[in-house]
Amino acid sequence: MNKDTTSDKSHYTILFAGGAFAALALAKRLVDHAKSYPFQLLIIEKSDSCNGLAYNINQSPYVTTNNPAKTCSIDASDENNFIDWSAKFGWPHSPDCYPPRYFFGKYLEHTLAKIISSASNKRIQFNYICGEEVVDCERQKDGSYLVYSQLKLEEKRIIYRANTVILATGNNKPNLPKFAKNLSPSRIVENTMTVVNQKKISAFDVDQNIAIIGSGFSAMDAMTIRFFEKIKPALDYAQNSASIRQQDIGKIYMISRRGLINYIPSEEPEISVNYTLSNQVCLTLVDTFFDSNKLIQLLNQEFRRGESLGYTKHQVVLALDNVLIELLEKLSSDSERHKFIKDYWTVLHAHQNELQEPSAKIFQLLEQEEILQVMEGHIKGNIHMEGEDVVIEFEENREPLKVDAVINTAGLEHSYEELVHQNALLTNLEKRGYISPHRKTNLGLEVNERYEAINRDGFSMPNLHPVGRLIEGEAIYKKFGLWFTGNSGIRSIRNMCAELAPIILQDIELKSNSVI
């Protein structure tokens, strides 16, 4: 052992690498459901807080979560946990409102404090360390793991031993654009999924030049909203009146680092989902449970009604968002839910052409009219204000873009290679062959049904459990049998933790019985 390395004598039952949302969601379940056998739990977090990337408490109060308050509980078996907490801590809004992300960060801090206190009541040894980065992990002959961590402020390595290791490292920094402090909130829309922000998009004046960052689902939604709310009426009006000219319509610049390449899964999904549905519909579908018959009936009925009023099916689907949310209350069993999703997509499949057409048509029309310009490029530095303009600079050798407002829809997902490359621990686990890419999506790591990592040779790594955003591909595919990317948020992570906790507790119980 070199002289800068200390070996921690403590042997932990469970050691977490990463201590943000996923870690807390799992730790809470473990502590709440622990029986009488003793265990020692250690969470090692490399930053100085438990807020993770998403819920930093210093961010703007204008940035909200994608989830209404009523779905923000960290615990799947206690739906009101967040609402009850937020009422106590002075959030005056209804459960249907979207809480600011910084506020959710506060919730995580209070949740951690609560877990610590529950653990001490149950005599569980619970330690949470900040400022230390787990950099490697090595399986021993006896099945335990040696875990190597690095102190942030000192050149010192520490070695721990643990029976079970939880990889809760998230998926690292998303490649999101950065906004300068001087950028007025009225000039930027983040998170196109909230109704408030969609209204903000509708409110941009027709002559404003808008940059949409990203080219996925949400970008298409933003384009569609702007088209129907402002551009189409202006184009219609321009045909009949000289008072508005084509030139008076602002431009849309759609900026994408990958260009307009669709996400293509390596295998055919069970059901094709290439519809231009709004993201909100998809999220609602994936995240919630519905009464399938009622919804299909409603959908067909709405299509007929919409048609008779001269609306496209795409518009009808967008309008259905609110109705879908109303159906949240109805819980059904897994099989009912699965059946519903299949039925739902079957109905939509029958309307695929009509559904796809409007978005594609809008896209083509806007390009033809030279209102829409797609730009492939990487954004450099901060997006900032210069006088009245919002300025976007590029890595590529090209003039900065000056616009009136920015709609950011850039995705958060990383390929396995990008993910592994950014994190020393994952790089080392990859070198050891302990982890492998998610087979179907290449997003995050592959796990088995016990949430154990699958190694390079396709075998399970006992007691090595990746959780949270790190297994985003798996969470979505496994839960719903459908292809959605970038939706491994609060609800799916807490559900996965609810499934994993009893598996770990059962293992501990078995071990403690075998020792006795």
Ligand X SMILES: Cc1cc2nc3c(=O)[nH]c(=O)nc-3n(C[C@H](O)[C@H](O)[C@H](O)COP(=O)(O)OP(=O)(O)OC[C@H]3O[C@@H](n4cnc5c(N)ncnc54)[C@H](O)[C@@H]3O)c2cc1C
Q: How far is CA 10 from the centre of its chain?
A: 35
Q: Say how many C-beta atoms besides its own lie within 10 A of residue 473's C-beta.
A: 27
- What contacts 47, CB < 8 A, 6 or more positions away? 130, 131
When asked if residue 134 is in the footprint of ligand X (CB under 6 A), the reply is: yes
- Please report, for residues 337, 414, 421, 431, 456, the alpha-carbon distance to residue 434 in angstroms, rounded to integers and kept in the order given: 34, 19, 15, 8, 6
Restricting to residues 162-181, which ones interact with ligand X according to CB under 6 A?
168-170, 174
365 scored as a contact of ligand X (CB under 6 A): no
Stretch that binds ligand X, among 216-224, 313-321, 430-438, 462-470 (CB under 6 A): 462-470
Asked if 223 and 276 touch (Cβ cutoff 8 Å), the reply is no
User: Are 355 and 277 a contacting pair, CB within 8 Å?
Assistant: yes
Q: How many CB atoms lie within 10 A of CB 341?
A: 21
Q: In the bound complex, what is the minimum distance in angstroms from residue 196's beta carbon to ligand X?
A: 13
CB of 250 to ligand X, least distance (A): 28
Determine if 408 is a binding residue for ligand X (CB under 6 A): no
> Strand 145-151 vs strand 252-256: parallel, antiparallel, or unpaired?
unpaired
473 touches ligand X (CB under 6 A): no
Place of tokens 């209070």: 110
Angle made by CA atoms 290, 295, 300, in degrees to the nearest 5 = 165
Collapsing DSSP to helix, strand or coil, 49 comes out as coil
412 contributes a contact to ligand X by CB under 6 A: yes
Q: Taking the complex as a whole, how short is the minimal distance between the CB of residue 194 and ligand X, in angstroms?
A: 9
Written as six digits, the tokens of 192 are: 């196109």
Angle at CA 413, nearest 5°, toward 432 and 486?
Answer: 120
Give the nearest distance from C-beta 334 to ligand X in angstroms.
21
Q: Would you give the distance in Å from CA 79 to the centre of its chain?
A: 19
Residue 115 touches ligand X, criterion: CB under 6 A: no
> Is the CB of 166 or the CB of 362 nearer to ligand X?
166
Give the total of residues touching ligand X (CB under 6 A).
31
Selected from 27, 34, 45, 320, the binder of ligand X by CB under 6 A is 45
Tokens representing 459 are 């075998």
Site for ligand X in 21-40 (CB under 6 A): 21-23
Q: Which stretch binds ligand X (CB under 6 A): 261-269, 340-348, 487-495, 504-512?
A: 487-495
Nearer to ligand X, 158 or 296 (CB): 158
Which segment (28-36, 44-52, 202-210, 236-244) binds ligand X by CB under 6 A?
44-52
- Count CB-CB contacts under 10 A for residue 419: 26
Nearer to ligand X, 54 or 500 (CB): 54
What is the smallest separation between the CB atom of 101 and ligand X, expressed in angstroms?
Answer: 6
Instruction: List, in order, residues 6 or more apart from 370 with CB less than 8 Å away.
Output: 251
Q: Which of 14, 15, 17, 318 binds ligand X (CB under 6 A)?
A: 17
Q: Which of 13, 65, 436, 455 binds ligand X (CB under 6 A)?
A: 65
Pick the stretch among 234-242, 313-321, 338-346, 466-474 that binds ligand X (CB under 6 A).
466-474
Question: Toward ligand X, which CB reaches closer, 20 or 201?
Answer: 20
Q: Binding to ligand X (CB under 6 A): which residues in 284-303?
A: none
Residue (6 or 293) nearer to ligand X, CB: 6
Q: Does 468 bind ligand X (CB under 6 A)?
A: yes
Structure tokens at 171: 């998926």
Of 75, 132, 77, nearest in space to 108 by CA: 75
Q: Which amino acid is at 379?
A: I
Residue 310 backbone dihedrals phi, psi, to 5 degrees: 90, 15
| Chain positions contacting ligand X, by CB under 6 A | 17-18, 20-23, 44-47, 52-54, 65-67, 133-134, 168-170, 174, 412, 423, 425, 468-470, 489-490, 493
